[in-house]
Amino acid sequence: MFTIRNYFLTVLTLGFVSLSSAQTNKEMVANFNEDQKKVYSTISKMVSAFQNKNIDGILSTYEENAVVMFEPQKPIQGKENLRKAFSQFVMFNPTYKFGGHEIYISGNIAKHISPWSMVGNLPDGTEIKESGLSIAILRKQADGNWLMIQDNPHGQYLLDKFKK
């Protein structure tokens, strides 16, 4: 019998199984089609630039009026505003790990979903640890590349809030 509860239990169980037996990123990417690989490449380019404190490299993965949720429910929009926010955030020297990648494409719009964890340091040396569910929306450009238009690394926020 179909119930909402059974549906969610099934989704949660399947999600746990897929994460507990997750392929390596390399194996996962090998199974992507060409557009999924390009979307993944944009995400990888952004993370690499972020870890190297390359602000121009980070911004090159976003459209001009992209929105990023550095904090839940507090969007920041536009490249100059993003430049300021990323310039502050890279000072934490973050290192990211991802628990898999899902990429869904419909026409010229793609959604990238990935659980992540991060370790970094505050200016005083205090270690910080965070984790979340990244949900990024990308748009295919005229040259065939993909750029982010929305980036929410706190996609789990409402679920966490609902649980409380």
Residues 55-80: pLDDT tens digits? 999 999 999 999 999 999 999 999 99
Is the Cα dihedral 18, 24, 28, 31 positive or negative? Answer: negative
Structurally, at CATH architecture level, domain 23-163 sits in Roll (3.10)
- Which residue positions in the chain have pLDDT lower than 70? 1-25, 164
> What residues contact residue 122 under an 8 Å CB cut-off, 6+ apart?
92, 128
Query: What pLDDT was estimated at residue 49?
Result: 94
Tokens coding 85: 């926010």
* pLDDT value for 28: 76
Q: Give me the pLDDT at residue 139, please.
A: 98
| Enclosing H/E stretch for 131 | strand 127-140
Kind of pairing, strands 95-98 and 62-71?
unpaired
CB of 127 closer than 8 Å to CB of 139: no
69, two tokens: 């949720």
- pLDDT the model gives residue 37: 96
pLDDT given at position 23: 55
Q: Which pTM value belongs to this model? A: 0.81
What DSSP assignment string belongs to 44-95?
HHHHHHHHTT-HHHHHTTEEEEEEEEEETTEEEESHHHHHHHHHHHGGG--E
Beta-carbon neighbour count of residue 90 at 10 Å?
18
**pLDDT value for 112:** 97
